[in-house]
Amino acid sequence: MQRLILGSQSPRRVDLMRGAGYDYEVIPADVEEAMDAYLKPPELTCANAALKAKYVARLHPDALVIGADTLVYLDEAPLGKPSDLEEAIRMVTSLAGRTHQVCTGVALISQKSGVDESFHVITNVTFKALTNDEVCAYLSKIDPLDKAGGYAAQEHGNLVLQAVEGSWTNVVGLPMDELGESLVPHGFLPAGAE
């Protein structure tokens, strides 16, 4: 039986995998993510996910490696991780009262079995209309600097989120339903599944 490796140190992805009951290891990929303005979010996130998965798969050729990359975008413009609090305030303010998209690309790579697959999931997220004080109050409750778009749906999301259309776990960082379906043909099931 192959080992299953999550090529990410994101605590949110680790929690999602653990919560789903998978038997896996965490080995982060030490790669520089691409930021190509010419690529659409699905292409860019899948390319970055594959970059991460291939890096770890080269080091562990006997394993099936999951790579993932999440991008928040508004009006087709990507919102990465803010560099400071002021940028986080600008990002969250720009999302207030509007619908944006969260796209996660996922890659499954195994050198031993020749697996090289990828998919993406897009979720529409609508923010509440927020005052500047409400934006600042929300940001004071989370660490926005390590989160695309400067927010975390799973951390006090009730303060900013009005609606989520599509995969909730995708917004958190890993679309678990779609990932689960992709893992089944490779023999990986969550604990308790038959």
Task: List pLDDT tens digits, range 125-167.
Answer: 999 999 999 999 999 999 998 888 999 888 899 999 999 999 9
* Average pLDDT score over residue span 16-20: 94
pLDDT for the residue numbered 146? 82
The whole-chain average pLDDT of the chain stands at 93
pTM: 0.91
* Contact (Cβ atoms closer than 8 angstroms) between residue 98 and residue 74: yes
pLDDT for the residue numbered 192? 62
Residue 40 confidence (pLDDT) above 70: yes
pLDDT for the residue numbered 111? 93
Enzyme catalytic residues: 69
* Contact (Cβ atoms closer than 8 angstroms) between residue 99 and residue 124: yes
For the chain, the structural domain boundaries read 3-186
pLDDT for the residue numbered 70? 92
Residue 56 confidence (pLDDT) above 90: yes
* Contact (Cβ atoms closer than 8 angstroms) between residue 93 and residue 139: no
Residue 77 confidence (pLDDT) above 90: no
- Give per-residue burial for 111-121: e unless 16+ CB within 10 Å, then b: beeebeebbbb
Q: What is the largest CA-CA distance in the chain?
A: 53
pLDDT for the residue numbered 174? 96
* Average pLDDT score over residue span 41-60: 96
Q: Which of 119, 9, 5 is nearest to 62 (CA)?
A: 5
Residue 64 confidence (pLDDT) above 90: yes
- Matching CATH number, 3-186, of 2.60.120.380, 3.40.50.300, 3.90.950.10, 3.40.50.720: 3.90.950.10
> Would residue 144 be called left, alpha or beta, if left means φ above 0 and alpha means ψ between -120 and 50 degrees?
alpha
Task: pLDDT band for 32, please (50, 70, 90 cuts).
Answer: confident
* Average pLDDT score over residue span 15-26: 94
Instruction: Give the residue, 172 or 38, on which the prediction is more confident.
Output: 172
Amino acid at 194: E
